[in-house]
Amino acid sequence: MSTNLKISNVTKIYPGCVANDNVSLEFNSGKIYALLGENGAGKSTLVKILSGVIIPDEGEIYLNKNNLKLNSPLDAKKNDIGMVFQHFNLFETLSVFENLIIDSDEQRESLREKIDSIMKKYNFSIDLDIPVLNLSAGQKQKVEIIRCLIRNPKVLIMDEPTSVLTEQETSELFLSLKKFSEEGILIIYITHKLKEVMQLCDEVAVMRRGKLISVSEIKNENIESLANKMVGQNLKTIKKKKAKTSSDQLIKITNLNFSSEDPFETNLIDINFSVNRGECLGIAGISGNGQSELFQVLSGEIISEKNSIEFNNNYIGDLSPQERREYLMAFSPEDRLEQAAIPQMKIFENVALNNFKSSNFFNNGLINENKIKEHSKKIISDFNVNTDNIELKSQFLSGGNLQKLIIGRELITSPDLLICFNPTWGLDVGAINYIHETLIKINEQNKSIILISTDTDELLKLSDKISVIHKGKLSKIMNAEEVTSEKLGILMGGAN
Amino acid sequence: MIIDINFIGLIIASIMASAVPLILASCGELITERSGVLNLGVEGMMIIGAISGFALMTVTGSLIIAVFGAMLAGVLISTIFAFLTQTLITNHVATGLALTIFGIGISAMIGKNFVGIPGKEFPVLFQGLKDTIPLLGPILFGHSIVFYFAFALPFITSYFLKKTKIGLIVRAVGDSPESASNQGINVKLVRYACILYGGAMSGLAGAYLSMIYTPQWIENMTGGRGWIALALVVFSTWNPIKILIGAMIFGGLTIIQFHMQAIGVRIPVQFLTALPYIVTIIVLVVISRDSRKIRLSTPSSLGKSFHKDN
């Protein structure tokens, strides 16, 4: 039986933002649909409306001509709409089986049989009796998919499913999705990754700022045309000029180890690498393989042995982040609002935070507000931060603006080395471009970068050398020209 | 010196009796916390239960009305907590502390008229069997129904959490209220129910104190047992069976240090009084050291308010 899903004139307004502005769309089973848009374009809001998590202000949803009233996720489930959320909706401390039985009315044994047959059919292999927190991201996603399949859904919605997957896991996922589609399940695939849309989908709907921009067949589109629709302007492509090879070593990590008391952190095992002046070293890997620990060890949040880090001919392994800054290192952590900036503090106060000593921001322990404000204004104009109010609390800046502010702040001291961790995570294409340009500029000034990132494309674009971190171990360091995303994918999955 | 073997039995029985209110209140609070709610009002709910039970017993003369009335009083006062934290999204810690202060105050006020009134005798079960088996007789027989219920409760609680669907839902809500809500589980309803259940068990624990353990009303008679119960939940890493162990150690050392003081052991009284607290914590910390297990049994959302947005 074929399925027809129709969204009619859906509007959802939040204070200060129209998340969905009169959106109408129609889907038919047998095809895979892409819902494409930047962060904040309204695609997540739309699918949350479809799955009953959010109730729209206006508009109707019809499944096979029946008007659906989706007031809760339960209503969506009853109407055979299944959704795999971007941030997994699993209970980490419960076992896989407990996660699956919690919303099922079936008996234990019959449910187990059903799960086994689903896993066999689609070639999944997951231990049902271990807690979910022991699973990899790809396995967790499979658990979510199984949860939907148990209910024989007519519609399956996937919200940014590949953000946590390796290349291999992604292609496995695509195979499964195609199989589901052939079996008559209507698939709606939400993403901002253009390559995936071209690879997987039959039709694409583009959203921008809450509005539906276009609906078209994939065969009539290409990556550039979709990108322009998504961003609303022509994007310039950034390319890094090949760096002059320098042999002037700036930082050298020797036999660095870190073992954590916390079993849910990753231990770092025998890390060795060095970075020359003017060079960008990219560190790839699937999140949770020790990147966060490596960043903390490099930034001094975690102290290591004095001799394990040599920077500018000084041993600094036992120094704090503040002391390392005095040696002209700078840091841009992954979590902008938790680690890099204090959300409730004003922009100019945040600017002052990493410069306790080496600036004239403070006189005899008193805050020199005028100096800081002057400087903050300079950062805002130099780094294109889209606000003119330095009294604004930093939590009200968008992710892109906040990241620009943080990078700007870190570059105050004109550091020799910038260490960044997922600097463009969750940003829109415009902001990503700006950050990338800035990073390239740093290299051109003969300064160095260590770029820890889970975004393979970003790494290939910006790095001179690339290494892969897997389970706390670093692969050998490769020249960026010799590396392809496929090769990185294999290394990220743990193969040699 | 010849020690009568039945005398040892009696000491063990008295240790168990002193553990009863701790087990009841802890197992109740454990369910509340497993759903992600931190209710620091255990002491307050307990003392409300104590005065309600004693007052109802004196006024109505019915032990059944008194016991269930005390549980109902615990439910009512915990409803205030539930309304504030779940409906008005107030801070769990501040609200719980307020509940304790409120409970102690209002119980003292109501209790004014009941000071000095003698309690009634509470019926015990299997009294006739007490002398049939040496040592075990006094331990197993001749106790109140509440006593037997308390020692069954950790096992019931454990079974409930591990084996039943509702127990699974409680754990799921405590693990991630957001996911639970997205799965169609009514998080507020579950948390309300768990808070009210915790209130009922604290009320029962209080009634046990004022009606069975020391049958009379004394102002502030819970004497910090509510706080011990709270500590037991945390140090047992939310495991009902370890609560039982912790409550027994605490009760045991409390009784033994009384005896040591009576015999006149030359150890400072202050140290002896502190001993149960120190040893209980040390033992529970040692048996709960596995950080993996702690991660698996700690309710991740404990003490965090959940507000559904749409």
| pLDDT bracket for residue B276 (50, 70, 90) | confident
Q: Per-residue pLDDT averaged across A64-72, rounded?
A: 90
- A19 to chain B: which residues are within 8 Å by CB? none
- Any residues with CB less than 8 A from the CB of A100 and at least 6 apart, and which? A111, A115, A128, A143, A146, A147, A150
Q: Which of B184, B296, B297 is nearest residue A77 as measured by Cβ atoms? A: B184
pLDDT, greater one: A285 or B192: B192
- A55 part of contact set with chain B, CB < 8 Å: yes
Q: Which of A53, A55, A133 is nearest residue B182 as measured by Cβ atoms? A: A53
Which sign does the torsion angle of CA B66, B72, B78, B79 carry? negative
Are β-strands A478-479 and A465-470 bridged in parallel, bridged antiparallel, or unpaired? Answer: antiparallel
Amino acid at A19: A
Q: Which of A72, A77, A90 is nearest residue B179 as measured by Cβ atoms? A: A90
Which sign does the torsion angle of CA A43, A49, A54, A60 carry? positive
- A95 part of contact set with chain B, CB < 8 Å: no
User: What is the model's pLDDT at position A297?
Assistant: 93
Report the mean per-residue pLDDT for chain A. Answer: 87
Chain B residue with CA closest to A53: the answer is B182
| pLDDT bracket for residue B3 (50, 70, 90) | low
CB contacts < 8 A, A to B, total 64
User: What is the model's pLDDT at position A154?
Assistant: 93
In the predicted structure, residue A229 carries a pLDDT above the cut 60: yes
- And the tokens for A105? 């009315």
Question: Does residue B62 contact residue B40 with C-beta atoms inside 8 Å?
Answer: no
- And the tokens for A148? 């939907």
User: What is the model's pLDDT at position A234?
Assistant: 65
User: What is the model's pLDDT at position A262?
Assistant: 72
- H-assigned helices in A93-166: 96-101, 108-122, 137-149
Residue that is written with structure tokens 């009863």 in the block: B20
The topology under which CATH files domain B5-297 is ABC transporter involved in vitamin B12 uptake, BtuC (1.10.3470)
What does the alpha-carbon distance between residue A409 and residue A355 come to, in Å, rounded to a whole number?
9
Q: Per-residue pLDDT averaged across A129-136, rounded?
A: 88
- A262 to chain B: which residues are within 8 Å by CB? 291
The values of phi and psi at residue A148, to 5°, are: -70, -45
Question: Does residue B42 contact residue B32 with C-beta atoms inside 8 Å?
Answer: no
Residues of B with CB under 8 A from a CB of A: 165, 168-169, 171-172, 175-176, 178-185, 291-292, 295-298, 300, 310
- A382 part of contact set with chain B, CB < 8 Å: no
Q: Per-residue pLDDT averaged across B78-101, rounded?
A: 96
- B190 to chain A: which residues are within 8 Å by CB? none
- And the tokens for A374? 């002057």
User: What is the model's pLDDT at position B150?
Assistant: 97
Counts of helices then strands in chain A (DSSP H, E): 16, 23
The answer to whether B179 contacts A91, with C-beta atoms less than 8 Å apart, is yes
What does the alpha-carbon distance between residue A296 and residue A292 come to, in Å, rounded to a whole number?
6
Q: What percent of chain A has pLDDT over 70?
A: 96
What does the alpha-carbon distance between residue B20 and residue B247 come to, in Å, rounded to a whole number?
8
Q: Per-residue pLDDT averaged across A421-448, rounded?
A: 87
User: What is the model's pLDDT at position A235?
Assistant: 62
User: What is the model's pLDDT at position B131?
Assistant: 80
User: What is the model's pLDDT at position A187?
Assistant: 95
The answer to whether B296 contacts A55, with C-beta atoms less than 8 Å apart, is no
Q: Which of A77, A89, A133 is nearest residue B179 as measured by Cβ atoms? A: A89
Pick the range with the lowest mean pLDDT from A114-118, A194-198, A429-433, B54-58. Answer: A429-433
- A72 to chain B: which residues are within 8 Å by CB? 184
The answer to whether A73 contacts B182, with C-beta atoms less than 8 Å apart, is yes
Q: What is the pTM of this model?
A: 0.77
Provide long-range contacts, Cβ within 8 A and 24+ apart, for A351-357: A351/A375, A351/A376, A351/A379, A351/A405, A351/A409, A351/A412, A354/A322, A354/A325, A354/A409, A354/A410, A354/A412, A355/A412, A355/A413, A356/A322, A357/A322, A357/A326
The answer to whether B291 contacts A263, with C-beta atoms less than 8 Å apart, is yes
B63-82 vs B42-60: helix crossing angle, rounded to 10: 150
- Cα separations (Å) of B170 from A330, A384, B201? 45, 48, 17
Q: Which of B172, B184, B295 is nearest residue A73 as measured by Cβ atoms? A: B184
- Cα separations (Å) of B284 from B30, B171, B235, B239? 15, 22, 6, 11
| pLDDT bracket for residue B52 (50, 70, 90) | very high
The answer to whether B310 contacts A90, with C-beta atoms less than 8 Å apart, is no
Q: Per-residue pLDDT averaged across A53-67, rounded?
A: 92
For A188, counting Cβ atoms within 10 Å of its Cβ (0-12 exposed, 13-18 middle, 19+ buried), the class is: buried
DSSP H or E run through B79: helix B63-82
Q: Where are the domains of chain B?
A: 5-297
Question: Does residue A244 contact residue A448 with C-beta atoms inside 8 Å?
Answer: no
Are β-strands A448-452 and A280-284 bridged in parallel, bridged antiparallel, or unpaired? Answer: parallel
The answer to whether A91 contacts B176, with C-beta atoms less than 8 Å apart, is yes
pLDDT, greater one: A365 or A108: A108
- B171 to chain A: which residues are within 8 Å by CB? 91, 93-94, 98
Question: Does residue B205 contact residue B225 with C-beta atoms inside 8 Å?
Answer: yes
Q: Per-residue pLDDT averaged across A466-481, rounded?
A: 91
3-class DSSP state for residue A238?
coil
What does the alpha-carbon distance between residue A458 and residue B274 come to, in Å, rounded to a whole number?
60
User: What is the model's pLDDT at position B54?
Assistant: 97
- Any residues with CB less than 8 A from the CB of B163 and at least 6 apart, and which? none
User: What is the model's pLDDT at position A357?
Assistant: 65
DSSP H or E run through B241: helix B240-263
- A54 to chain B: which residues are within 8 Å by CB? 310
* pLDDT tens per residue, range A372-427: 888 889 888 888 887 778 888 888 787 788 899 999 988 877 899 999 999 988 77
What does the alpha-carbon distance between residue A362 and residue A352 come to, in Å, rounded to a whole number?
9
- A134 part of contact set with chain B, CB < 8 Å: no
Please count the other Cβ atoms lying within 10 Å of the Cβ belonging to residue A118.
Answer: 15
Walk me through the domains of chain A, giving residue ranges and CATH numbers: 4-231 (3.40.50.300), 249-492 (3.40.50.300)
- A55 to chain B: which residues are within 8 Å by CB? 310
* DSSP 8-state symbol, A338: I
The answer to whether B172 contacts A102, with C-beta atoms less than 8 Å apart, is yes
Question: Does residue A157 contact residue A51 with C-beta atoms inside 8 Å?
Answer: yes
Prediction ipTM score: 0.83
Pick the range with the lowest mean pLDDT from A12-16, A235-239, A338-342, B232-236. Answer: A235-239
Residue that is written with structure tokens 């004693």 in the block: B54
Chain A residue with CA closest to B167: the answer is A102
What does the alpha-carbon distance between residue B270 and residue B274 come to, in Å, rounded to a whole number?
6
3-class DSSP state for residue B297?
helix
Question: Does residue B5 contact residue B134 with C-beta atoms inside 8 Å?
Answer: yes
Report the mean per-residue pLDDT for chain B. Answer: 91
In the predicted structure, residue B202 carries a pLDDT above the cut 90: yes
Chain A residue with CA closest to B169: the answer is A102
